[in-house]
């Protein structure tokens, strides 16, 4: 028996047409429906469940989208560990779940397994500690969040002042009371690559970052006036799936693949700039930005290839990667 968790409705977003730049708006309940489609097609025995069913469910496999939205996190944090005890095969696995949406833990994990291509960082545990060490040019990230909703850049000396800094943190998705622990990283300028790794191979997209230095909160892909669910600040010209040659030119690609394999997880995404890891997460990206052709590193052939797919193939590949992991 496969137990398939239905997504929290907070992720249910409308489809968006190609070319709008709103790639992440195809998350919604389509995450679990991709699995359901496979199970129905192959006549596999499964049960659809939701939080009211836990922890009193049994089976051989558990698959669920336990993600970062506050409404969802509050629920899955209460049931995950009991589910993990009940199921020998669970996605996300324990290590992946514990590192997800926790940037200080991510940084410490990469350090612990001995990889040197990690961005410099400092973990800060309280507001008072942050005020003592913050300086102009620092990028400050709360432990959790998506689409830069809890990220700020210290653009001016005045934001190092306690009152000004507190006012900034209050405007984030987390708010000042839920911002800590956080991390401080140096500012990088230019392009950021998202490296998507599945059990089939490697894809990537690039963001040409619009760093608005007039507002500390409108940094990266963030916008202080727009909730993370509605952020779509990038067009096809600013964010696109990269070519085979661009993908092959990423010098730390082998290290990223090894980290993913060390975690024993079917899917993983890394944010990198200047060949340094900024953060990582197991993937819920439903698509790559629209492009006629994409670069792909194929694990079966051990070759960099150019593939032609629609923009949503990455979403299905992630589903199939979990299915492959469990031999379903």
Tell me: the pLDDT tens digits for 8-30? 888 776 555 444 444 444 444 47
C-alpha–C-alpha distance, residues 327 and 147, integer Å: 33
C-alpha–C-alpha distance, residues 171 and 150, integer Å: 9
Tens digits of residue pLDDT in 68-107 = 888 899 999 999 999 999 999 999 999 999 999 899 999 9
Phi, psi of 295 (to 5 degrees): -80, 145
Question: Mean pLDDT: which of 106-115, 218-227, 237-246 is highest?
Answer: 106-115
Residues 60-68, mean pLDDT to the nearest whole number? 92
Half-sphere exposure of 254 (CA within 13 A, CB side): 3
pLDDT confidence bin for 312, thresholds 50/70/90: confident
User: What's the pLDDT at 193?
Assistant: 92
User: What's the pLDDT at 110?
Assistant: 94
User: Which helix (H) or strand (E) is 86 found in, with range?
Assistant: helix 70-86
pLDDT confidence bin for 275, thresholds 50/70/90: very high
C-alpha–C-alpha distance, residues 235 and 48, integer Å: 36
Query: Are 105 and 99 contacting, i.e. CB atoms less than 8 angstroms apart?
Result: yes
Q: Which two tokens stand for residue 59?
A: 């089976």
User: What's the pLDDT at 84?
Assistant: 95
Orientation of helix 313-325 relative to helix 30-41, angle to 10°: 60
Residue appearing with tokens 């095969």: 89
Tens digits of residue pLDDT in 155-180 = 899 999 999 999 989 988 778 888 99
**How many residues does the structure list for the chain?**
328
Tens digits of residue pLDDT in 181-232 = 999 999 888 788 999 999 999 999 887 766 666 677 766 554 545 554 455 4
C-alpha–C-alpha distance, residues 210 and 233, integer Å: 9
pTM of this structure: 0.89
User: What's the pLDDT at 64?
Assistant: 94
Residues 283-308, mean pLDDT to the nearest whole number? 87
User: What's the pLDDT at 29?
Assistant: 46
């Amino acid at each position: 028996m496969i137990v398939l968790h239905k997504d929290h409705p907070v992720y249910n977003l409308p489809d968006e047409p190609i070319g709008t730049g709103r790639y992440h708006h195809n998350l919604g309940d389509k995450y679990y429906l991709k699995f359901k489609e496979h199970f129905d097609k192959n006549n596999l025995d499964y049960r659809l469940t939701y939080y009211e069913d836990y922890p009193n469910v049994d089976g051989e496999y558990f698959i669920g989208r336990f993600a970062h939205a506050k409404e969802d996190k509050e629920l899955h944090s209460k049931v995950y560990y009991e589910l993990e005890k009940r199921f020998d095969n669970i996605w996300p696995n324990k290590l992946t779940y514990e590192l997800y949406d926790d940037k200080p833990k991510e940084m410490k994990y990469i350090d612990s397994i001995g990889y040197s291509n990690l961005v410099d960082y400092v973990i800060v545990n309280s507001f008072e500690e942050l005020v003592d060490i913050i300086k102009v040019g620092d990028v400050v990230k709360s432990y959790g969040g998506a689409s830069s909703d809890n990220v700020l850049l210290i653009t001016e000396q005045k934001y190092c002042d306690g009152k000004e800094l507190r006012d900034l943190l209050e405007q984030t998705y987390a708010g000042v009371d839920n911002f800590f622990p956080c991390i401080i990283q140096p500012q990088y300028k230019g392009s950021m690559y998202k490296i998507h790794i599945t059990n089939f191979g490697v894809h990537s997209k690039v963001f040409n970052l619009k760093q608005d230095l007039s507002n500390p909160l409108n940094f990266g892909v963030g916008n202080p006036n727009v909730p993370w669910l509605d952020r779509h600040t990038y067009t096809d010209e600013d964010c696109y799936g990269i070519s085979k040659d661009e993908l092959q030119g990423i010098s730390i690609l082998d290290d990223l693949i090894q980290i993913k394999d060390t975690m024993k997880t079917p899917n993983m995404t890394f944010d990198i700039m200047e060949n340094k890891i900024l953060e990582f997460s197991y993937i819920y990206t439903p698509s790559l930005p629209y492009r006629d052709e994409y670069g792909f590193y194929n694990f079966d052939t051990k070759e960099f290839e150019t593939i032609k797919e629609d923009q949503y193939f990455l979403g299905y590949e992630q589903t199939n990667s979990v299915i492959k992991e469990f031999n379903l």
